[in-house]
Structure 1
Amino acid sequence: MAHTPSGGVQLTEFVKRPGLGREGRPLKVRANFFEVLTLPQQDLHHYDVTITPDVPPALNRRIFQQFEDMFRADLSNIRTVFDGRKNIFAPKPLPFGDARTFELTLPEDDGITSSKRPPRNFVLKIKKAGTIRMEVLHRFLDSKQGLTNDCLTAIMALDVLIRHKPSMEHTTVGRSFYTPQGSKPLFGGVEVWQGYYQSARPTPRKMMINIDLSATAFYEGGQLIQMVAKVLNKRNVDELRRGLNDRDRVKLEKAIKNLKICVTHRGETTKKRRFKIMKLTQTPANHTNFDAGDQGGTMDVATYFNRQYNTRLGFAALPCVVVRKNVFLPMEVCEVIPGQRHIRKLNDRQTADMIKFTCQQPQMRANKIRQGLDILNYRGNEYMQQFGMRVATDMTVVDARVLPVPTLNYHASSTDASFVPNGGVWNLRGKRVATGATLGSWAVIAFDREDDLRMNTIKGFIQELTVTCSDTGMNIMNKTPPIMHANPQGDIENALKQAWLRAGNAAKAQPQLILCILPNTGVPLYAEIKRVSDTVIGVATQCVQKKHTLRPNKQYCANVCLKINVKLGGMNSFLKATDIPFISDRPTILMGADVTHPAPGASNNSRPSIASLCASMDAKASRYAASIRVQAGKEEIIVDLANMAKELLKTFYQTCGRKPERILFYRDGVSEGQFSAVLNSEIKAVKAACTALDAQYKPTITFVVVQKRHHTRFFPMNKNESDRSGNCLPGTVVESTIIHPTEFDFYLQSHPGLQGTSRPTHYHVLYDENNFNADSLQTLSYNLCYLYARCTRVVSLVPPVYYADLVCSRARFHSRGENWSDTESSEEGTGSAASFGVVKPDLQKVMYFM
């Protein structure tokens, strides 16, 4: 849908902004964007640099620093900025014409060198790549032309400029740099560092810098032996003197492999040599033998250290670290070099600590971002001065609106059957679900040991649950289902099949539900229950934690009831037709799509990505069906979308007896760079699905990308315009100042804050045959957020996408060869595409994934 204004310039291949919305109450909020007051006026000069030999970016930057110091005169004192890889930008042409080669030597403190290795020599080839016309960027920001490659390069140059100095001075990861000030230890020898993210963003008529906090995990520096005690969860290092069992040794080796260390036993006079840990020895230091040559033939490491350095090892029972072939170092003479990023997956406890560190009230976060501005010190940045770029020091104040709250409806027999929620939260007191499902054939299975006391507790819980479900409007025909026990470490598949048989026999009817009581929140048991019930037996399951069954709580039972009701095909609540006119006026299907990829660092590259599509089934957009495909890993475009859409269009027709005349497609998880590819491929697929059903069938389609992974945050200007958590009110929409210069996008913070600073959702319309204006799409998207079936609060993103996300997470459990046992190795399953079970057809038509 390229829009061409009367001037004939194509401004965007996507949808042009159709004007601003008017709905709701206007107010102002702060956003973590800082205005670029002056951009470089002159053209910038782009050079391509090749550094040989090839080394990582951090070392590239040191080489570049050395190059600048050595050749300042040859560069006529022009300050250039470098992206750490291939690109150099300069404010003026460099004085050596189109290309030149420089040679330099890096002095001896770069780290991974031994005293025997000679200093390292590098060659820099610098070649002119082009001139960046800043005027092109101005024209784009002023909506006088589209986003060309020249614009993209200009924006990249500004990005490199604002990052150049911090990257030279601090540890950088992606678009963030990190400082150890205010770091906090996490569990197990890991600490979290505070970081600052910065990115140059084009907005209407000006560039802005988006600055946010980030945090990442680093290994703690200091004595290796201290870290070993923490990794193995020992109270102190003395517990290590006895040595390690095999399990601990394997765990430790996995945790510290590739860590960079230096040695302390050679005194302070020599340069501290640095090494990388390759592995651990199988034997302790006092039994690890090597050939000491003229020192006296074969001896063990402990004896060698005693003779050579007059050092008696206190931890001779620990294995040695191997740093090169046949080079063994006792752990107690090693120190971990600080500032090394922890790339492995954090375990549950570390993750919980990390969340505590990163979770900050909006006011605190805003203050920390301001502190980050002091660290960045744009004003004192000599590179930015030379380029002629100035940045404001105050957060931008933007216009926002708080959208009106829709009317929510429950069953007519409820007290307050229709009401307007206040503050984005409501409760189920006196409410009955809009359409209650009937539950007749079911069984309960408790994964723990059997005794009379436990049996009575379970019966008490079932009674409370069935009473709550009946009160909430479900029809529970059988209030005393068969209860059985099973071993959580045993044959789960067989146990579930037994429960299925007992449910069927007790009710003389096809089983509808198995209620599973789990001993803990561990993933392996839950994953296996879902694999078996979804793909082998084809029955809905509802898992509850044992602790919640001990003293049944009404509120908890009501929440469980909401989930059971939709799993059995019921409907919890709905909006009145006038709140969702786009859906209620004509048969309309909502679709939500998502692709999840294997975890980064997954050891097995053949692991697939999972694509899911969820679509509404009725005129109230309250009930959904799902479709899943397993596809090649890291592939963002949904490969089999045409067939998935076809399945769901058919299901819609079977449910409603009408074909949808309009499709509103929300797509999660696409980054800006992928917009074109995803749009072209996926719109084609949806159209192909329609044609495949009927050559004449051509519903109108709108395609909206939904993004949560961005660094935009909003801060209320005063207390009375914030919710209890200090965040902006639910329904806050921003569509000016910090958005795209010409395209149809907006930020919507639809949910009330729970803790920390809420993240608004960014909606970006790429294709639109339904002629939405700003108000109609913003209010529809906001109102839909009240229909998430799992809870009684408004959620942060539209339900079709939320459900697609749940379906992807669930599908990960459908793989047989997965090893869920240890949080650290959950990425190491064999999970190839072939090992994924298919969800049984009966379940695909209900919301089994809730």
Structure 2
Amino acid sequence: MLSTTQYAWGAYHEFPVLTSMKNPPPPLGQKGHFLIKITAGPSFPVASLANYVRNPNSIPPDEVVNYTNIFLRMAPMSTHAFRGNNFYVDQGSRVFDDWLMLRRGFFQSVRATVTGPMINMDITSTLFWIKRPLMDTVISLLRLSDHRALSRLDDRQLHTLNRLLRGVRVVPLHRPNAAPKVIRGFDKRGADGIRLDGNGVTVEDYIHEKYNKRLSYPKYLCVSLSNDQQNMLPIELLAIDKNQFFDLKKLQNPVWDKQIRTFAMVKPSERLRITNTGPELMQHAQSDYMIRAGIRVNPAPMLLAARSIRPVPVAYANGQSVPRFGAWKNQKFYKAMSIKFWAVIVLDHQAPAPVVKSFISRLVSAMERCGIRVLDQTPTLYPKDARQDITQLLDHVKADLMRRFKEPPSLLVIVTPGEADWYTEVKRLGDITLGIPTQHVLSSKALKEDRGSAEYCENVALKINVKMGGVNFVPHPDAISWIRNGDPLMVVGADTSHPKPREEFKPTIAAIAFSVDREVSKYNGLVTIQKGRQEIIANIVMMLKTAITTFKAQNRVAPKRILFYRDGVGEGMYAEVANSELQGIRQAFKDLNEAQPKITFIIVGKRHHLRFYPDKRDEDRSGNANPGLVIDNTITSPIHDDFYLLSHQGIIGTSRPMHAVPIHDENGLTSDMYTVTAFPLCRRLFLSRLQGLTFAMTHNYQRATRSVSIPAPIYYADVSVHCTRLVPSHSLCRSCAVTNALGSTLIHRLTSPRRPQAPADHPRRLSSTSKLSVRLQRVCVT
């Protein structure tokens, strides 16, 4: 409860509220007759917000942002469906599968920046139940031919109803003023077959006697509105209540999922147009709360200057390739491997053997173009027998190849129609049980002989070479000169993956991926499990000790510098996570009697709502900004040396930049500034060493010939998590680790004052002119 004026009753007041319609009314304190107590909370001086607006150099207290967010939310909360900071409107909605509705909404949140408070606004979308009679919803949901089928539902249909509709609010149609009730379950029996306890009266008779209502369909199923099933109503007397979110976790239809994603993917120009309608719909200028608090909002999106880093060339064995629009042409791999002998398993019963052999020939040609030596040009084909399960087939393949070649195969290529269950089972058996690398190919793509066939085969070759231990490409030496020319450095990516809601007994999976080569392009993965929903990596010491030992075994020296990219951390946990994991890194070196390294700890986030919209002259083919866009001013934190980097090409929808927040920096990467030449203005600009290195680290993800949206080691940590999900849950324990070759003073910056800007006479340490170049451009941000 929030007020901009002092209430007459002062600091405390209590009063009764009667909601019961009974006569006589129930005593005070019982159901339907409540005692409301109001106690005054802490007051918020609105002047502190004005002080922050006038003096952005000051660090605002958390209360400034929190209370301003409350003022901002009050008006739309009273008129729109909302969840958290997301408010949903009717404009632009779309009926989805006849019983659900896709609705757009607006995300809005006040953020403290180096230039003062800013409202971050973006669009969002989700599914709602359509307000309609429950009987019509059930008929559409179960795809029944007519309503008479409601009298003979089977157990499978009843299970579907309980899974989707349990917990949904409904309103009784025969009692217009009654409060909504929650569905607890369904009963196949009709109202004429369910008798109320005590008097033997059926539900049908009770409704007729109590409400003088004759049922039209007394044999149709009933709905339980209480846990003890004592409150039962016929389905014909209920309707879905308004403004109810559909639980997206209940989606089990890939077609639905694709349609929802398509609805949510909006081109940049359209996304900006819709977002610009948000301030009016959210009543920024009309809200009494905002007006009384003296808060005014500029509805126009912010215009600010950005820099665009030139693409980072990637090196191959026979030269280099320069990215264009974030992608580049494949060449001979930097370190190509050899395939001694291999096999092809065909799970698609409709794939003819001659067509599969033609694909194998194209795949062999693609691998050899990329530099892979294929000693066995005609691998054996193993079609799946209809009577075999996957385990029997793979056991047979391995046994047959061991008998013929006296050693396991180098690779198994699986031709599959795309069933997810087969993919999971084959990966688990091949990668974990048999220890043989596996590569899936979709028959719908692999067996087509068209213009895209050669490109598809080269993409498969990329993945095969990495799984065999090779390196496809590396960032150009000039882009990572600070890494190559200094003391040995290990790049680490770390992430945690938590169980879904209602899976409280499942563990959190923590993973790291660490580089083992000088070009920071070859990574190993380490995974542990820990208590569910624990963000801090509990086994960081053990994992880092393994990483250090592996690095030393391959480089004859332990790393002297650590570049640690951490994903998945919310703003409120920056300090706690950084403190704990930095201490763990140091402890690992101490336990191994190694010299303490210089550590740079960066938190990378993607789950934010900031979007950048470039001028027409600066946009790519999709309407997004080109890869390499950097913003480290105006909208950044007043505390951290953070920056936003758009490193990948937008293909569909509006690109989301990464948000990099350096928490601890002993390597001087945030203060070591490049001097770079800007064009066409021929001015000298500043680019921090960390920004350039982070951009380069998005160009060494070995599975694609394009820059990616976050540094590659974080992607590899995510791959490690995915591999762990293939291990049966009963095989995991809290102390176990899964490895895979993939292919407080420590945080003093958290309490430091607002970071300095970078004018022409920047006082930070300057390096010699970099070969990277940038150019100025204007972007619009919401």
Quickly name the TM-score band, shorter chain normalised. Answer: 0.7 to 0.9
Q: Which of 753, 776, 797 lines up with 2:650 in the alignment?
A: 753
Q: 1:746 to 1:624 in 2, by over 3 A?
A: same
Q: Deviations over 1:758-805 (max 9, x none)?
A: 101000000000001352111111122121111111111110111112
Match of 2:746 in 1: none
In structure 2, do the counterparts of structure 1 residues 382 and 402 end up closer, same or farther at CA, with 3 Å as the change threshold?
Answer: same
- Give the match for residue 657 of structure 1: 556
CA distance in 1, matches of 2:98, 2:468: 44
Change (3 A) 1:700 1:785: same
Cα shift at 1:129: 2.5
Alpha-carbon distance in structure 1 between the residues aligned to 2:440 and 2:629: 35
2:677 corresponds in structure 1 to none
Distance 2:736 2:413 in 1: 21
* 2:164 is the counterpart of 1:255: yes
Amino acid across the alignment from 1:555: E
Q: 2 CA distance for matches of 1:782 and 1:808?
A: 24
Question: Are the equivalent residues in 2 in contact too, given 1:530–1:814 (CA < 8 A)?
Answer: no
Counterpart in the other structure of 1:230: 140
Distance 2:53 2:510 in 1: 35
Matching residue of 1:679: 578
Contact 1:301 1:328 in 2 (8 A): no
- The correspondence of residues 421-570 of structure 1 with structure 2, limited to 5 A, is 421-428=323-330, 431-449=331-349, 454-486=352-384, 491-520=389-418, 522-552=419-449, 553-570=453-470
Q: For 2:332 and 2:574, locate their aligned partners in 1 and report how far apart those are by CA, in whole Å.
A: 43
CA 1:481–1:216 in 2, change beyond 3 Å: closer, same or farther?
same
Contact 2:52–2:116 at 8 Å: present in 1 too?
A: no
Going from structure 1 to structure 2, the CA distance change for 1:489 and 1:100 (only over 3 Å counts) comes to: farther
Residues in 2 aligned to 1:399 and 1:108: alpha-carbon distance in whole angstroms: 61
Matched residue, 2:769: none
In structure 2, relative to structure 1, the CA distance for the partners of 1:697 and 1:136 (3 Å cut) is farther
Q: Does the 8 A contact of 2:56 with 2:116 survive in 1?
A: no
Greater Cα shift, 401-410 or 300-309 = 300-309
- The one-letter code matched in structure 2 to 1:221 is K
Code of the aligned partner of 2:136: Q
Alpha-carbon shift at residue 186 of structure 1 (Å): 2.7
Say if 1:141 and 1:741, in contact at 8 Å, map to a contact too: no
Matched letter for residue 643 of structure 2: F
Give the structure 2 partner of residue 343 of structure 1: 247
Secondary structure (helix, strand or coil) at the match of 1:391 reads coil
Given residue 425 of structure 1, which amino acid in structure 2 is its aligned partner? A
- Separation of aligned partners in 1, 2:209 and 2:382: 64
Please identify, of 117-126 and 685-694, the stretch whose mean Cα deviation from structure 2 is larger.
117-126
Deviation of the 1:308 alpha carbon: 7.8
Supply the distance in 1 between the matched residues of 2:651 and 2:148 (Cα, whole angstroms): 42
Contact 2:428 2:727 in 1 (8 A): yes
Equivalent residue in structure 1 for 2:721, among 808, 817, 822: 808
Matched, 1:574 2:471: no
From the superposition, tell whether residues 613 and 364 of structure 1 become closer, same or farther in structure 2 (CA, over 3 Å). same
In the alignment, structure 1 segments of 5+ residues that lack a partner are: 1-81, 83-87, 818-831
What does residue 705 of structure 1 align with? 603
What is the match of residue 408 of structure 1? 314
Deviation at 1:363, TM superposition (A): 1.0
* Kept after mapping to 2: 8 A contact 1:140/1:741: no
Query: AA paired with 1:667?
Result: R
Query: Does the CA contact (< 8 Å) of 2:122 and 2:275 recur in 1?
Result: yes
2:666 is equivalent to residue 769 of structure 1? yes
Q: Distance in 1 between matches of 2:90 and 2:18?
A: 26
What letter matches 2:310 in structure 1? Answer: P
- 8 A Cα contact 2:649 2:707, kept in partner: yes
Distance of 1:546 and 1:132 partners within structure 2? 66
Is 2:42 the partner of 1:129?
yes
Per the TM alignment, residue 554 of structure 1 is displaced from its structure 2 partner at its CA by 1.1
User: Which whole-Å deviations, capped at 9, do the CAs of 1:382-406 have from their partners, x for residues lacking one?
Assistant: 2111111111111111110000112
Contact preservation (8 Å) 2:152, 2:188: no
SS at match of 2:513: strand
How is 1:280-295 mapped onto 2 (pairs within 5 angstroms)?
A: 280-285=186-191, 287-290=193-196, 293=199
Distance in structure 2 (CA, Å) of the matches to 1:463 and 1:650: 41
- Which amino acid is the alignment partner of residue 628 of structure 1? V
Q: Which moved more, 1:606-615 or 1:487-496?
A: 487-496
User: Which of 263, 276, 297 lines up with 1:391 in the alignment?
Assistant: 297
Amino acid across the alignment from 2:369: D
Asked whether 1:196 is paired with 2:106, we answer: yes
In structure 2, stretches of 5+ residues that fail to align are: 673-686, 744-782
- Deviation digits for residues 488-526 of structure 1 (CA, Å, limit 9, x no counterpart): 896433332332333333433333222222222x43222
- Compared CA separation, residues 485 and 298, structure 1 to 2 (3 A): farther
Paired residue for 1:44?
none
Q: In 1, are the aligned partners of 2:192 and 2:202 still within 8 Å (CA)?
A: no
Query: What pairs up with 1:11-26 in 2 under 5 angstroms?
Result: none
Find the counterpart in structure 2 of residue 243 from structure 1. 152
> Separation in 2 of the partners of 1:685 and 1:319?
59
Q: In the TM superposition, what is the alpha-carbon distance from 1:301 to its structure 2 partner?
A: 4.2
User: 2-side partners of 1:471 and 1:255: how far apart?
Assistant: 52
Q: Note if 1:798 corresponds to 2:711.
A: yes
Q: Deviations over 1:184-204 (max 9, x none)?
A: 223373222211111111111
SS at match of 1:182: coil
Instruction: Work out the CA distance in 1 between the residues paired with 2:210 and 2:20.
Output: 30
Contact 1:134 1:154 in 2 (8 A): no
Contact 1:701 1:769 survives alignment (8 Å): yes
Contact 1:132 1:153 in 2 (8 A): no
Residues 505 and 461 of structure 1: is their aligned pair in 2 closer, same or farther, counting only changes over 3 Å? farther
The 1:301–1:135 alpha-carbon spacing in structure 2 relative to 1, beyond 3 Å, is closer
CA displacement, residues 428-463 of structure 1 (integer Å, 9 cap, x when unaligned):
3xx2111111111322222244x8x72222222222
Instruction: Determine which of 398, 419, 422 is the counterpart of 2:321.
Output: 419
CA distance in 1, matches of 2:692, 2:562: 17
Once the two structures are superposed, the pairs formed by residues 26-425 of structure 1 within 5 Å of their partners are: 82=1, 88=2, 90-91=3-4, 94-97=7-10, 99-105=11-17, 119-132=32-45, 134-135=47-48, 138=51, 142=55, 151-187=61-97, 189-234=99-144, 236-238=145-147, 240-241=149-150, 243-265=152-174, 271-272=177-178, 274-285=180-191, 287-290=193-196, 293=199, 297-299=200-202, 301=204, 311=214, 313-314=216-217, 316=219, 318-324=220-226, 325-345=229-249, 346-347=251-252, 348-412=254-318, 417-425=319-327
Shift of the alpha carbon at 1:252? 1.2
Amino acid aligned to 2:637: H
Q: Is the 8 A contact 2:203 2:232 kept in 1?
A: no
Question: Are the equivalent residues in 1 in contact too, given 2:44–2:67 (CA < 8 A)?
Answer: no
What is the number of equivalent residue pairs in this alignment? Answer: 713
User: What corresponds to 1:610 in structure 2?
Assistant: 509
- Asked if the contact 1:183/1:192 (under 8 Å) is kept, the reply is yes
Closer/same/farther in 2, CA of residues 390 and 303 from structure 1, 3 Å limit: closer
- Superposition TM-score, scaled by structure 1 size: 0.79
Q: CA deviation at 1:570?
A: 0.7
Pick closer, same or farther for the CA change 1:441–1:836 going to 2, 3 Å: farther
Residue type matched to 1:343 in 2? Answer: D
What is the DSSP-based 3-state SS (H/G/I as helix, E as strand, rest coil) of the residue aligned with 1:786? coil
Is it true that 1:594 corresponds to 2:594 in the alignment? no
Q: TM-score, with normalisation over the residues of structure 2?
A: 0.85
Paired with 1:233 and 1:775, the residues of 2 have a C-alpha distance of: 59
SS in 1 for 2:17: strand
Kindly, what percent of the aligned residue pairs are identical? 28
Amino acid of the residue matched to residue 338 of structure 1? K
Contact 1:488-1:525 at 8 Å conserved across structures: no
Contact residue 531 and residue 837 of structure 1 kept, 8 A: no
CA distance in 1, matches of 2:179, 2:53: 52
Q: Quick check: 1:170–1:179 contact (8 Å CA) kept in 2? A: yes
Deviation, 1:486, is 3.2
Q: Give SS of 2:358's match.
A: helix
Counterpart residue type for residue 596 of structure 2? K
1:104 Cα offset (Å): 4.8
Counterpart CA distance in 2 for 1:460 and 1:353 is: 35
| Aligned partner letter, 2:242 | P
Letter in 2 for 1:255: L
Distance (whole Å) between structure 1 residues aligned to residue 557 and residue 31 of structure 2? 78
